[in-house]
Amino acid sequence: MRSQATPWMLLGATLLPLVAAPPLAAHESETLRYRWVLGGFFGTVARVFLPGRGDGVLATRRTVEGGLEVELDITSPAAQGEFWRYGAQIDPADGRTLKAWSTYKYRGKTDFKESEFDEESVIDIASGITLLRRLQPAAPVDLRIWNDGKIYPVTIFPREHAMRSLGDRQVAARHYAVRGRRVPGERVWKGRLDIYLAADAAATPVEISLERKMARVRLLLAE
């Protein structure tokens, strides 16, 4: 695996599935738009100095080589043009993540990280959302998260269905929670990732929530 330096802390994480995914058939060309808001204790404090909301895009597209590319873009309304981008290149035949990257521009600083994967089971957060949309596991699954060059054991927990806001209406959603799992001799991931998929055939992510160090980013699907 080849790595370069790493960006901001909240979204740069990848999941390692324990089950084989079916070939990709849906969501091969799709653009979903979100509004994000900063929350949590530290997030609320940071909003005194930083923008507390902005726009997000989750885009899936075919590459010229025939692969599949998924990117999550988070942009700030700040005049400096701040953004965070997290993406992956996926093999559409088996859902394997071939490469993951992340980049950001924040308060005058920029950074870029890219990793190529030989392991069949490595996926990043963007392709992890794609995996959950396809598999929608009904029981807890033990996984591993790759974040900033380190790997952490985690478990995906299917939660009860929940109602989430979509514009001026409520929609039923399947809730999946990713939490750190304690394993002797291994690091403990202290982040939290929650994904709410619409309870329909498309399984559209209507809300994505990421939390780390008491700061939380919630991305809400915009109609």
C-alpha atoms less than 13 angstroms from C-alpha of 147 in its C-beta half-sphere: 22
Residues 27 and 62 sit within 8 Å (Cβ to Cβ): no
pLDDT at 25: 54
Whether residue 4 lies inside any domain: the answer is no
In angstroms, the CA 137 to CA 139 distance is: 6
Whether residue 65 lies inside any domain: the answer is yes
This prediction's pTM: 0.81
Whether residue 47 lies inside any domain: the answer is yes
Whether residue 9 lies inside any domain: the answer is no
46 CA to centre of own chain: 22
Whether residue 213 lies inside any domain: the answer is yes
Whether residue 208 lies inside any domain: the answer is yes
Q: Residue 33 above 80 pLDDT? A: yes
Whether residue 2 lies inside any domain: the answer is no
Domain range spanning residue 210? 14-221
CATH number of the domain residue 161 falls in: 2.50.20
In angstroms, the CA 220 to CA 212 distance is: 18
pLDDT in tens, 39-81: 653 444 344 335 677 899 999 999 888 889 999 998 887 656 7
Whether residue 3 lies inside any domain: the answer is no
Instruction: Please state the domain count of the chain.
Output: 1
